[in-house]
A and B are shown apart, each in its own frame.
Chain A
Amino acid sequence: MNQANLKHDPYNLIITGVGGQGNVLASRMVGDMLSRLGFDITIGETFGASQRGGSVMSHLRISQKGSYSPQIPMGRAHMIVSLEPAETLRVLRAYGNRQVKVITNMRPVRSISVISGEQTYPAPETIMGWIRDFSESAWFLDTTETAVRLGNPIFGNVMLVGALARTGELPLDRDTFEAVVRSRMPASKVPVNMEAFDAGGAMIEDGRARITNPFYRDLMQACGQIG
């Protein structure tokens, strides 16, 4: 049974992305890992439209006290892990708050409104600016390139799990991840998953990935929280 304490109870984690990016699998892996450590986990998933290019979002409630609603109340996420930058913004708007932390893959998946030219996709710098403004700290990753090198862009989801583990926000470790992969996948798939997990972690280690919010203090002051 788990001894580690959570920073918040329940700890509210959102994993988001676009249908087909492997969002559901990522949330189940994280859920399985924490479940093995003895936490009570509730996962709420929206995936009716997932295969048809819609937004998908998993809510994970992690607790030592029992099961929680599969929907996180508005404005109460502690961590947002995102496979797609515009989805990060969408989720921040509904579930963000001044203390929220964000890990986001920066490769956009254009929606048809963008493909058709009816709407424009914000520039990466603009997106990063907004995320910095509205989070306590943020990590910007480019998992897609590395995932493609590992053989399939889908590994981006595992890399984000690795990245989340390396932040130390939740008691996620490599051994538990390996155990979960072994229980879910054929043995031949284990090495590539471990490689993806480690690559994600390395992106967090690499100082360039972590961008702590320089505007945070200003925002807090403006909001009357400090000083």
Chain B
Amino acid sequence: MSIITGNQNKAERPLMMGNEAIARGALEAGVKVVAAYPGTPSSEIPKTLGDVADEMGLYVEWSTNEKVSLEVAAAAAYSGLRALCTMKQVGVNVASDFLLHLAEYGSRTGLVLVTCEDPGSLSSTNEGDSRPYSKMMEFPLIEPGDIQEAKDMTRWAFELSETVRNVVMLRSVTRMSHASGNVTVGDLPETDVKADFQCNGEFFDQMTGPVMTLPSTAPAQRLRQHEGLAKAIACFEESPFNTYTGPDRPGLLIITSSAATFYCREAIAILGIEERVGLLKLGTTWPLPPRLIEKHLATADRVLIVEEGTPFLEDNLKALFADRIETVGPTRFHGRADKTIPSVDELNPDIVMAALAGLLNLPIDHSTADYRQRISAALEGNVPDRAMTFCPGCPHRASFWLLHEALKLDNRRGFISGDIGCYTLGVADCGFRAVKTVAAMGSGVGMASGFGKLRRFGLEQPVIAVCGDSTFFHAAMPGLVNAIHNQADMIMVILDNAGTAMTGFQPHPGIPVGADGKPLPALDIPTICQAMGARVEIADPFQFDAARKTIAELMDDGGGVRVLVLRQACALSPARKGKKEWTVSVDPDKCLGEACGCNRLCTRVFKCPGLIWDPKQKEMRIDEFVCVGCGVCAQVCPQNAIRVEKVVNS
């Protein structure tokens, strides 16, 4: 029995990751359908639920993209089942087209959208903030302030959704989703609900009529939506997830939400200012409960707003204040707007401490200053950087090596239009800096489709788009359709490593298995591309000679869209992990290091982490603990100094 499905002794308080706590909260609410596209830091929620799908009688799927996942979840919620949809911040943009319609129509059964955001871009190409969607599209937003609340608020979110008859957004951040804490669990319900989609009722009946938004119905539906928001406000005024600690009349009131709550509590404790500062922690952040806010604003004449992301709470609090200035009295607001809190990057306890020390004129603790200065001086320039790179044995390193070589040989300043996945690292040294554009999922091929139409305006550079197999299904297919139909001149390379590697190797529609581990039919990418009308070739990036030949041919085959599927499993895939295909060693007679004329191609340019350049002995070696035995470096070495020997698996 896992901690997720156990009906534990309440005193036990198992340690759960925020995402596990969210999954547990959904189970306690009796969720039946879970749909998601993986994205760090959200992926562990559907993963956790997928693992217990059988035991708990759930339907869990990894959907093609976030919009589809929300549509799947909504279908369940219209059929009487509680449904959960999870994604990372960028996914909300993908889902937003459907989300607007969903919010206007509303929901029948509990429908919760969890968005896990990444302040500080710890594992993203941007810092997004999805909270404004809740205001823009008018549905409730809640934000847990610790791991226990991540569980409790998820459970409650389903009830709230049914009260307001609309989707509820629960927003987490990396430091909540990927933090762990003790959780007191509740009971798991015995649920035995049947799905039934009622659609023969009156046109306007939200519970039995057809599900649609039309020009003629929109105003009435929006009024219905506003009634839901009014109900949400009534709940929020009384919500136990909005808490206050501190004196009755604090000199300074902090208003905070989400993971920033931790930082505020810690900063107050370290500075020892519990008697001077009040902390209003909001769990319900849109719509704001006006009476509660008014009551607290009236107690202090200075307010510091501490939140992750954009000044969403800050702006909304100020707007609410403007309405109530007569009862609340003069108040000064500090936060991101006046730079008391830096306007970008994630927060931490030190940032909040600095803000508080500044506002309250507190002396900064200098006792550690000397230590900090000494250690910084000693270590300055001496701790080697640890930039992200492709894993040892990653097929992308080999693929980019081949593509980079081909573009260089071609000599027309060709470039790669990149996409989102591990291969985004193609912008860095490990991809030989061949990737020159990166934007949203699927934008690599969409932009290449545009570049590929600029020949008539004099653009002579060859254009190669890359995307992964999961990205292909997610958002690259429409871009490829566009390129083929409009006869763009480009090569699309699909880096098929058999899974969504970036987020922890989840399956996608090209993989013959589902979220619960059971078999599903797989869709074949080359066949799809062929059916779309492209010339399609398949190569293995680990077989340099054959792959080189194919790439050269495709580069020569001018005009139109050519697709190359470079197929080799991710180094972390179950198929390859822990299995060496080759035992690799260096022939010291052949490797002459700096003297050999290759200018240390293997370690200076190819840079697989499994290689060691020994500057004292002036020779190359293989790090047997790191090398996964893919054999690629042997093909890189122009001296044939790297020996490979096939591993015979007993």
Which residue numbers of A lie inside 8 Å of B, CB to CB?
A: 18, 20, 28, 31-32, 35, 40-49, 51-55, 67-75, 86-87, 89-90, 92-93, 96-98, 109-117, 119-122, 126, 130, 133-134, 144, 148, 153, 219, 223-224
Known: A54-B386, A70-B175, A115-B611. A49 touches B123 (CB 8 A): yes
CB of B40 within 8 A of chain A? yes
**Neighbouring A residues of B295 by C-beta, 8 Å:** none
State the Cβ distance, B283 to closest chain A Cβ, in Å.
Answer: 15
Known: A31-B180, A49-B123, A89-B383. A115 touches B603 (CB 8 A): yes
**Would B179 and A44 count as touching, CB distance under 8 A?**
yes
Q: Kindly supply a per-residue 1/0 record for chain B positions 148-188, scoring 1 wherever the CB is within 8 Å of any chain A CB and 0 otherwise.
A: 10000000000000000000000000110011111000000
Residue pairs across A and B with Cβ atoms less than 8 A apart, 23 shown, are: A32-B15, A35-B13, A35-B182, A40-B182, A41-B182, A68-B265, A68-B266, A69-B348, A71-B348, A73-B266, A73-B349, A75-B368, A86-B384, A89-B382, A96-B375, A98-B368, A111-B387, A112-B389, A113-B386, A115-B612, A116-B607, A126-B382, A134-B375
Interface of chain B residues 402 through 429 with chain A (CB within 8 A): 422, 425, 429
**Would B604 and A117 count as touching, CB distance under 8 A?**
yes
**Would B429 and A112 count as touching, CB distance under 8 A?**
yes
**Would A67 and B349 count as touching, CB distance under 8 A?**
no
A-B contact count (CB 8 A): 181
Q: Kindly supply a per-residue 1/0 record for chain B positions 349-385, scoring 1 wherever the CB is within 8 Å of any chain A CB and 0 otherwise.
A: 1100100000000000000101110111011001111
Q: Closest 5 CB pairs between A and B?
A: A48-B123, A70-B179, A69-B262, A43-B180, A111-B386
Max chain A C-beta neighbours (<10 A), residue from B41, B350, B353: B350
**Would A89 and B379 count as touching, CB distance under 8 A?**
yes
**Would A110 and B609 count as touching, CB distance under 8 A?**
yes
State the Cβ distance, B39 to closest chain A Cβ, in Å.
Answer: 11
Q: How far is the CA of A68 from the CA of B264 in the complex (A)?
A: 10
Which of A51, A52, A116 is B604 in contact with, Cβ under 8 Å?
A116
**Neighbouring B residues of A74 by C-beta, 8 Å:** 350
CB of B391 within 8 A of chain A? yes
Max chain B C-beta neighbours (<10 A), residue from A73, A119, A120: A73
Q: Please give me the residue from chain B that is nearest to A153 by CB atom.
A: B625
Q: How far is the CA of A40 from the CA of B147 in the complex (A)?
A: 12
**Would B383 and A93 count as touching, CB distance under 8 A?**
yes
Interface size, chain B (Cβ < 8 Å):
67
**Would B376 and A93 count as touching, CB distance under 8 A?**
yes
Which of B13, B118, B180 is A28 in contact with, Cβ under 8 Å?
B180
Interface of chain B residues 196 through 237 with chain A (CB within 8 A): none
Q: Please give me the residue from chain B that is nearest to A108 by CB atom.
A: B384
**Would A110 and B15 count as touching, CB distance under 8 A?**
no
**Neighbouring B residues of A35 by C-beta, 8 Å:** 13-15, 182
Q: How far is the CA of A72 from the CA of B378 in the complex (A)?
A: 23
Q: Please give me the residue from chain B that is nearest to A100 by CB atom.
A: B371
State the Cβ distance, B346 to closest chain A Cβ, in Å.
Answer: 9
Q: Please give me the residue from chain A that is nearest to B368 by CB atom.
A: A75
**Neighbouring A residues of B13 by C-beta, 8 Å:** 35
CB of B280 within 8 A of chain A? no
State the Cβ distance, B356 to closest chain A Cβ, in Å.
Answer: 12
**Neighbouring B residues of A20 by C-beta, 8 Å:** 391
**Would B383 and A48 count as touching, CB distance under 8 A?**
no
**Neighbouring A residues of B41 by C-beta, 8 Å:** 48
**Would B384 and A114 count as touching, CB distance under 8 A?**
yes
State the Cβ distance, B401 to closest chain A Cβ, in Å.
Answer: 14
Which of A18, A68, A109, A115 is B613 in contact with, Cβ under 8 Å?
A115
**Would A42 and B607 count as touching, CB distance under 8 A?**
no
**Would B389 and A133 count as touching, CB distance under 8 A?**
no
**Would B15 and A31 count as touching, CB distance under 8 A?**
yes
CB of B489 within 8 A of chain A? no
Q: How far is the CA of A75 from the CA of B389 in the complex (A)?
A: 29
**Neighbouring A residues of B263 by C-beta, 8 Å:** 69, 71
CB of B598 within 8 A of chain A? no
Q: How far is the CA of A37 from the CA of B105 in the complex (A)?
A: 50
Q: Please give me the residue from chain A that is nearest to B178 by CB atom.
A: A45
Which of B371, B387, B388, B430 is A134 in contact with, Cβ under 8 Å?
B371
Known: A71-B348, A112-B607. A53 touches B391 (CB 8 A): yes
Q: Please give me the residue from chain A that is nearest to B121 by CB atom.
A: A48
**Neighbouring B residues of A46 by C-beta, 8 Å:** 122, 178
Q: How far is the CA of A88 from the CA of B439 in the complex (A)?
A: 35
**Neighbouring A residues of B390 by C-beta, 8 Å:** 52
Q: How far is the CA of A40 from the CA of B425 in the complex (A)?
A: 38
CB of B519 within 8 A of chain A? no
State the Cβ distance, A24 to closest chain B Cβ, in Å.
Answer: 9
**Would B604 and A112 count as touching, CB distance under 8 A?**
no
Q: Please give me the residue from chain A that is nearest to B385 by CB atom.
A: A113
CB of B259 within 8 A of chain A? yes
**Neighbouring A residues of B378 by C-beta, 8 Å:** 130, 133-134
Q: How far is the CA of A69 from the CA of B389 in the complex (A)?
A: 30
**Neighbouring B residues of A223 by C-beta, 8 Å:** 370-371
Known: A41-B182, A73-B270, A75-B372. A109 touches B626 (CB 8 A): yes
**Would B15 and A41 count as touching, CB distance under 8 A?**
yes
State the Cβ distance, B482 to closest chain A Cβ, in Å.
Answer: 31
Which of B118, B368, B388 is A49 in contact with, Cβ under 8 Å?
B388
**Would A70 and B383 count as touching, CB distance under 8 A?**
no
CB of B615 within 8 A of chain A? yes
Known: A28-B180, A134-B374. A117 touches B613 (CB 8 A): yes
**Would A52 and B422 count as touching, CB distance under 8 A?**
yes
